[in-house]
Structure 1
Amino acid sequence: MEFAFVSVRRLMLIMTFVLMSASLETPVDAGTASSAKAKRQQVTCNSRRSECFLKPVTCPVECPQVKPEDPMAKACYLDCYSPKCEAVCRKRKPNCSGTGAACYDPRFVGGDNIVFYFHGRSNKHYALVSDTDLQVNARFIGLRPVGTARDFTWIQALGLLFGSHTFTLEATRAETWSDEIDHLRFSYDGTSITLPETHNSEWNSPRNEIKLERTVSKNSVTLLIQETLELFVSVVPITEEDNTIHGYGIPRNDSFAHLEVQFRFFGLSPRVDGVLGRTYRADFANPAKPGVEMAVVGGEDKYRTSSLLLSDCASCVFTPGDKVVSLLRQYGMLSCSSGVEDGIGMICRK
């Protein structure tokens, strides 16, 4: 009996030791793996105009990295112009249903969150945004099949003017579309820019007021102009399915590669105008009412410019170098309530 008691006690001790070892090893291993896989970064804002100026903010568990290795993963993002110093998760490509988007034929989502279409004409240029110190023009490409009353158009290029600088971003022509070929071309102040075709590669202007970054290795980038705008861009083709459904009549030797874009503006002035820009004004009454399918707004004559980098449209207000206007923008901006779905839209502050 004594032998049996000792054996049972020894067996219980051994079992207890094994269980304790297992309980100690599992959390440590899991914790180490989790930490290595999802180490949460901290972000902050360098702008003195931000409520989050130099405040360290930890990224959410769901998106712990600012630049995730997986290009399809959501990234950690801190909105420096929001009163909340809170990091959120977001995709790094245009959201064509989000505020400030311009996609498809072209379909816009205004600063008032109302969806509208602006057709324009093929091979013409239009002011999407014209403000006191920012001008964003678009070049349209398109075609008009026999028997149709208008051109089918898409945004092929953007031209940005700010201060004394210019920046262009365009989709290059592709007879046959391939995801393995990059179809983006850039220039800064008239000089071509080379951006390596690797995920998260960057280019910065000489004074760092502009940052251009690939969100995937090809055909998608983000552009940031400090204190002015953030722009998400992707190049896409017209698919055979879309061609069939809409009857575009796309020829076999052209995929009509074009841009899908989404803008985020920082402190537009009360004078802002343009096809998209006017929708950010507090006094703008959008003729495209919510719920109206395929609502089309005009303005081709008001917003047509002579080229991609000119601000000579009838309603353009671009006046670079105006110090009075610049001060008004910084210290007398509107207090408004435009939609900011997905963190994209106009932020107005006093």
Structure 2
Amino acid sequence: MKGDLKCINGFYVGLMVMLYAFTVIIQLEAASETKTCFVRKSPCFLKKQTCPKQCPSFSPPNGSSKACVIDCFNPICKATCRNRKPNCNGKGSACLDPRFIGGDGIVFYFHGKRDEHFALVSDIDLQVNARFIGLRPSGRNRDFTWIQSLGLIFGPDSKTFSLEATKAAKWDHQVDHLRLSYEGKEISLPIGDSSVWTHQDGYIHIERTSDINSVLVTLPELAEIWVNVVPVTKEDDMIHKYKTPENDCFAHLEVQFRFSRLSPNVEGVLGRTYREDFQNPAKPGVAMPVVGGEDKYRTASLLETSCNACVYVGGSTSLDKIEPLLLNQSTVDCTGGSSSGIGIVCRK
């Protein structure tokens, strides 16, 4: 009889534990936000993705270091966590002077020229240009350059957006060095983590990812762009021998792109690296593999769409009629080994 009671008690205890665990799981899922992929040609079309408990929100509250993201071309169709600032070791990034990691996962440098503009991405309905700043110390035959601003042209009506790091003699961590404008009008984005600005036309959404100097720019169904403003530090200056002047800290942008769709003919310094037929000319084994293309990608201004290799047509051709590239854009960090992300191998 006592043995039967023990079995019964054990059964009820086990049942209570299972019910408690089930309740906790339900609560966690209820607290996590969800999104559904509506990209028709993606493997995750109409599949709902729920944020992990480690990052339950797409727009987390103040102080959160990670946000939830979905990738409609992720083969396992699961939402993941990512840092809220650019990952300079991830695919689609452009940092330093400037160091790119392409859609193929290969690291390369593109120096361009100071005070000139170059197309980073040129696609049928999206163009992203960059203005380079820099200097050339005595005895050097090439400019040191950094990305100072971005110019975006997108959508069926060729909307324009620009984002720049404002010039500063000395870097002040308590000053916002970001200037934003949409369709030629400056945007007033309140200081404060998670502060947002959305235009009524629905083409663009901007969210601060820290109190100052960092934002996430979202172009729905086109791209997400993480941006951070940083100076050239004294340590950088000593290591690389930039010889920056006393009256300019060369505030510049760290950038990372995540594209929702691209056409097979996408061009640009960075855009071309997403093409299936692209053969990266970066030499393996070289410490700083420099890739050219200044003449192909130079534009007349920050918001000019014409260059020798540009393909932007103002969105007049619908991408629905074009087979898009399959974009596996899991964050890659090649500092931790040869294999990173989902099905991505880091190469030197």
Please state whether the residue corresponding to 1:301 is helix, strand or coil.
helix
**What is the CA distance between 1:208 and its match in structure 2?**
1.4
Root-mean-square deviation (CA, aligned residues, Å) is 2.6
Q: Pick the structure with greater CA Rg.
A: 1
Tell me what 1:320 maps to.
Answer: 314
Q: Deviations over 1:98-153 (max 9, x none)?
A: 00000000000011111000001110000011111111100000000111111100
State how 1:165-244 maps to structure 2 within 5 Å: 165-244=159-238
Return the offset for 1:74: 1.7
In structure 2, distance between residues paired with 1:159 and 1:186: 10
Letter in 1 for 2:88: C
Report the CA distance between 1:83 and its aligned residue: 4.0
Show structure 1 runs of 5+ residues with no match: 1-27, 346-350
Shift of 1:301: 0.9
Normalized per residue, which structure has more helix? 1
User: After alignment, is 73-82 or 217-226 more displaced?
Assistant: 73-82
Could you say if the C-alpha distance between residues 51 and 194 of structure 1 is closer, same or farther in structure 2, counting changes exceeding 3 Å?
Answer: farther
Pairing 1:107-146 to 2, within 5 Å after superposition: 107-146=99-138
CA distance in 2, matches of 1:58, 1:112: 28
Distance (Å, rounded) in 1 between the aligned partners of 2:297 and 2:63: 36
- Superimposed CA distance per residue, residues 179-234 of structure 1 (whole angstroms, 9 cap, x where no aligned partner): 11100011111111111111101111222121100001100000110111110000
Aligned to 2:321, the other structure's residue is in SS state helix
Task: Give 5+ residue unaligned stretches, structure 2.
Answer: 1-19, 334-340, 342-348
Tell me which residue corresponds to 2:247: 253
Find the aligned partners of 1:278 and 1:54 in 2 and give their Cα distance: 29
Task: Please report how far the alpha carbon of residue 312 of structure 1 lies from its aligned counterpart in structure 2 after TM superposition.
Answer: 1.7
* Distance in 1, Cα, partners of 2:303 & 2:214: 22
The residue type equivalent to 2:70 in the other structure is L
Separation in 1 of the partners of 2:204 and 2:238? Answer: 40
Residues 75 and 89 of structure 1 are in contact (CA less than 8 Å); yes or no, is this contact kept in structure 2?
Answer: yes
Match of 2:299 among 287, 296, 305: 305
Kept after mapping to 1: 8 A contact 2:223/2:258: yes
Counterpart residue number, 2:35: 44
Correspondence for 2:3: none
The aligned counterpart of 2:273 is 279
Residue of structure 2 equivalent to 1:340: 329
Give yes or no for contact 1:42–1:56 (8 Å, CA) kept in 2. no
The SS at the match of 1:342 is: coil
The alpha carbon displacement at 1:47 in A equals 3.0
TM-score scaled by length of structure 1: 0.82
Structure 1 runs of 4+ with >4 Å offset: 50-56
Superposition TM-score, scaled by structure 2 size: 0.82
- For the residue of structure 1 that corresponds to 2:36, the secondary structure is coil
For 2:289, the equivalent position in structure 1 comes to 295
